[in-house]
Amino acid sequence: MKIAALADIHGNYQALITVLEHVEAWKPDLVLVLGDIINRGPRSKECLDLIRVKALSPNWHVIKGNHEGYVLMFEDPDFSRKGHDFDLRKIIFWTYQSLSKSDIQDIAQLPEEIQLTLPDQQLIKAAHASIAGDRVGIYPDTPPSALAGLIPAEAQLFLVGHTHQPLVRTYQGTTIVNVGSVGLPFDGDTRAAYARLTYHKGTWHGEITRVEYDLQAAEDDYYKTGFIPDGGPLADLVLAELRLGWPQLGRWFKRFEMPIRGEEISLQDAVYEFLKNPNIESRRPGYPR
């Protein structure tokens, strides 16, 4: 049994097409897509379209992540479209506007978890982040004492994404794999990441695979699509994430959200101030946002 698992594409079409070529050459029995196909990147529509075509195969399973949820919030006509709330979500609204009504309906219908039982009773479960929620992630430095509330104890294999930081570890009989990110890795390695899982003689083996892709073409897409400048100043922070391979948005929000809301600094100036000296070494939990 061979399983390919990928997550956190974030509208990076250049990375996605390269990873899928890599996956198809490996010929897995199952392919699992663990959410955040869209948003936080410039080509959400194309990524969604490609995943939908692939998911027509019964061997493909796709779930939603927190960024699908962010985009769906704009389906509510009362959801704020003005003031600081809107300005801080403008990149999400840009993604929402790039999608059709049919796209939105398909996203809304995606499940939140995958559960598969193999013929020998091996139970596989997958979620976007953890069983604690789609924004509560499992990081390389998550202590064993915290894992009990994040993983399903009954599963022999549990697959997640969300943190953009890959890992393979075991806890009380469960093999845990964070598959990393196709579109925005946050471990200092800008190559796309996905996971290969193999089951042999009663044991799961996980391997994180890194794939070179056309990073310059991905950067060019930020401008060709209008994501920069139409997505607002925060789109520049997302581009910095792509270039650096480290998270930026979460740290920026922590530092500047309240001063912006308090009219102490403009959004544009806050982004400029931050990008003058981004702290690319920060890897503390909680930054994917």
Annotate 176-233 with three-state secondary structure: EEECCCCCCCCCCCCCEEEEEEEEECCEEEEEEEEECCCHHHHHHHHHHCCHHHHCCC
Q: Tell me, what's the pLDDT at 155?
A: 97
Q: Tell me, what's the pLDDT at 21?
A: 98
The CATH H-level superfamily of 2-211 is Metallo-dependent phosphatases (3.60.21.10)
| pLDDT tens sequence across 135-161 | 999 999 999 999 999 999 999 999 999
CB 99 within 8 A of CB 38: yes
Q: Tell me, what's the pLDDT at 118?
A: 86
Statement: residue 278 has pLDDT above 80: no
CB 47 within 8 A of CB 12: yes
For residues 76-90, average pLDDT: 93
Task: Tell me the C-alpha to C-alpha distance, in Å, between residue 126 and each of 115, 123, 177, 230, 250.
Answer: 7, 10, 9, 35, 25
Distance CA 73, CA 55 (A): 24
Statement: residue 36 has pLDDT above 80: yes
| pLDDT tens sequence across 217-271 | 999 999 999 999 999 999 999 999 999 999 999 999 999 999 999 999 999 999 9
| pLDDT tens sequence across 163-182 | 999 999 999 999 999 999 99
- Listed in sequence order, the DSSP H helices in 89-143 are 90-98, 101-108
Query: Rounded to 10 degrees, what is the CA torsion of 7, 11, 13, 16?
Result: 0
DSSP, residue by residue, 12-55: -HHHHHHHHHHHHHH--SEEEE-S--SSSSS-HHHHHHHHHHHT
For residues 198-225, average pLDDT: 96
For residues 60-89, average pLDDT: 95
- Helix (H) / strand (E) containing 124: strand 123-127
